[in-house]
Amino acid sequence: MQALSTLISIEKDSSQPVYLQIANQLMLFIKEGNLQAGHRLPSTRQMADWLQVHRKTVVQAYDELLAQGWLESRTGSGTFVAKHLPEIHPRSLLNGSSSHFNPAHTAGFEFEPTPHLDRPAIWSKHKYHLDDGFPDSRLAPLEELARAYRTQLLTGNPYERLGYGDTMGALWLRKVLADYLNDTRGLKVTPENVLITRGTVMGLYLSCTAFVNPGDTVVVGELNYNGANMSFLQRGANLLKIPVDENGIVVEELAAICRKQKVRMVYVTSHHFYPTTTALRADRRIELLRLAEQYGFIIFEDDYDYDFHYLSKPLLPLASADKAGMVIYCGSFTKTISPAFRVGYVVASENVIRHLAMLRRIVDRQGDILLENAIAELLQNGIIHRYLRKAVRTYRQRRDVFCELLKTHLSEYVQFQVPVGGMAVWTHFDAAINLNTLTQKAIQHELYFSTGYRNEAGKPMLNATRLGFASSTPEELECCVEILRKLLKA
């Protein structure tokens, strides 16, 4: 025991009390088998003398271990390591040598790797960015949202506003959101058709888990949002990809698949197809809904940036024309306001929403009720409507500026179509340009944009990527293009 006491290290300047430092290190000796069950500890006076601390400090340390059950006191005999502890063979030696295994780095158990989840998250802190198509948070109605959130935080019954709420989401938000979707998207829904989530990704994950079984066939575009593909692969689905052209997914290919095998779900971004930003043509929309009704598959409609359409009024979603209850419609305020505000929604038949709500409960009991009610207030008062009108004008201007900059300064290096909506330009680079090398050089000049690899998911590189314009001012876009011009001419 005297030898072990020399291994006890006491840091006088530590924020942790000395008695706890002693107790924790004695506990570690017991856990590692250097102090076995039934071993008698030295008296508090003797231990204090060895450690050069006050006897009361050692008394506190022993009392702490007695309270936790690591030690036991026997009247007239002293203090011992609790005899009920199992025998532990020492894993380290008193001379300080120990195993190189570090459980903080590597677990002691095995698990299967998941290559389909190995996709870096977008998180750019660089001065300039041509991102995946994110909103400019500087335009968001932050002051109004802050006031509404503060109101929710400080007023009303605290038991209700700060307690557990409906798993389906705040009723107020579901009410005003149902009205908003009916007015803007041509839906015919009630609050019972709406589930509030923490974003589209959560809505898709819940839908996959609830309605797709391992081995089920899920059809997506050959070019597709990799986040969706990851959810389907994680569920064990058989992922089939169909061609994509300038009018969206080729629905005729889907029909051919349906004639041969059972399809469980089709994932589609019908309004601004991801990643190319093209809209699904009207005849294909009608045929897709007809096929869903005929063959019984689910359409998961990810309407990630419905509000930002510049050519005309936004195209109504598939869900607005769904007469057979085959569409699960999903959107969020992430692209509307800011990625930091994790509020999304799933719209479907009432029995589907109830089923998803029960599943959501074991994943995330509820969302941020205060934030949900704050957004409900902004929706009800028309603040989000006014913000969206302003944002559409601003983003359209930025789209025009950015496309003109690309045409004027980079026309010999890139090809693109001016998008009718959305917040990014699908851009093809000349085949001689290594996008991976170009992005790394751009980062050295404080400019971030994606290499495009994550759009292909195992397919040969198309040498194309999404260049987001919405989150940058015209002046910032000029700097971005100038950096690219210099790098490409170098």
Q: Is 43 exposed, middle or buried (0-12, 13-18, 19+ CB in 10 A)?
A: middle
Residues 326, 189, single domain; the answer is yes
Residues 270, 365, single domain; the answer is yes
**Tokens representing residue 481 in the block:** 């293009």
- pLDDT at position 17 over 50: yes
* pLDDT of amino acid 93: 47
| Chosen domain end from 385, 408, 426 | 385
The model's pTM is 0.80
CA 450 to chain centre: 18
Q: Is residue 301 part of a domain?
A: yes
Residues 320, 434, single domain; the answer is no
| Chosen domain end from 365, 385, 405 | 385
* pLDDT of amino acid 398: 96
* Spatial CB neighbours of 476, under 8 Å, sequence gap ≥ 6: 128
- pLDDT at position 213 over 90: yes
Which CATH number covers residue 256? 3.40.640.10
The rounded mean pLDDT for the chain is 88
**Number of separate helices (H) and strands (E) present in the chain:** 17, 16
Q: 3-state class of 174 per DSSP?
A: helix
* pLDDT of amino acid 202: 93
Q: Which ranges of 381-424 does DSSP label H, i.e. alpha helix? A: 383-409
User: Which residue in this structure is represented by tokens 């026997």?
Assistant: 74
Q: Is residue 290 part of a domain?
A: yes
Residues 367, 434, single domain; the answer is no
Residues 329, 412, single domain; the answer is no
Q: Is residue 97 part of a domain?
A: no
> Residues 448-453: what's their mean pLDDT?
79
User: Which residue in this structure is represented by tokens 């109101």?
Assistant: 151
Which of 195, 205, 182 is CA-nearest to residue 354?
195
Residues 228, 312, single domain; the answer is yes
Residues 447, 381, single domain; the answer is no
Residues 176-193: tens digit of each pLDDT: 999 999 999 999 999 999
Q: Is residue 307 part of a domain?
A: yes
Q: Is residue 94 part of a domain?
A: no
Number of alpha carbons in the 13 Å side-chain half-sphere of residue 128: 20
Which CATH number covers residue 463? 3.90.1150.10
Query: Which stretch of 212-226, 327-341, 425-439 has the lowest confidence by average pLDDT?
Result: 327-341
Q: 3-state class of 188 per DSSP?
A: coil
> Residues 68-93: what's their mean pLDDT?
82
Which CATH number covers residue 62? 1.10.10.10
Query: Which stretch of 90-99, 263-272, 376-385 has the lowest confidence by average pLDDT?
Result: 90-99
Query: Would you say 169 and 196 are in contact if contact means Cβ atoms under 8 Å apart?
Result: yes
Q: Could you give the dihedral angle defined by the CA atoms of residues 345, 347, 352 and 356, in that order, rounded to the nearest 10 degrees?
A: 0
Query: Rounded distance, CA 371 to CA 115, Å?
Result: 35
Give the model's confidence band at 277: pLDDT under 50 very low, under 70 low, under 90 confident, else very high: confident
> Residues 158-174: what's their mean pLDDT?
85
Query: Rounded distance, CA 263 to CA 478, Å?
Result: 46
Q: How many independent structural domains does the chain possess?
A: 3
Query: Would you say 414 and 406 are in contact if contact means Cβ atoms under 8 Å apart?
Result: yes
* pLDDT of amino acid 338: 81
| Chosen domain end from 319, 354, 385 | 385
* pLDDT of amino acid 459: 57
* pLDDT of amino acid 370: 87
Q: Could you give the dihedral angle defined by the CA atoms of residues 402, 405, 406 and 407, in that order, rounded to the nearest 10 degrees?
A: 120
> Residues 41-56: what's their mean pLDDT?
92
Residues 436, 353, single domain; the answer is no
Q: Is residue 119 part of a domain?
A: no
Q: Is residue 100 part of a domain?
A: no
* pLDDT of amino acid 461: 60
Residues 286, 301, single domain; the answer is yes
Dump the DSSP string for 14-65: -SS-HHHHHHHHHHHHHHTTSS-TTPBPPPHHHHHHHHTS-HHHHHHHHHHH
Query: Rounded distance, CA 272 to CA 398, Å?
Result: 17
Residues 319-343: tens digit of each pLDDT: 999 999 999 999 998 878 888 788 8
Residues 186, 71, single domain; the answer is no
Query: Which stretch of 42-46, 216-220, 307-311 has the lowest confidence by average pLDDT?
Result: 307-311
Residues 292, 315, single domain; the answer is yes
Q: Is residue 225 part of a domain?
A: yes
* pLDDT of amino acid 455: 46
Residues 363, 427, single domain; the answer is no
Residues 413-423: tens digit of each pLDDT: 999 999 988 89
Q: Residue 360 belongs to what domain range? A: 140-385
Query: Rounded distance, CA 465 to CA 193, Å?
Result: 36
**Cis omega (within 30 of 0) on the bond before 317?**
no
Residues 265-276: tens digit of each pLDDT: 999 998 888 888
- pLDDT at position 484 over 80: yes
Q: What is the DSSP letter of 379?
A: H
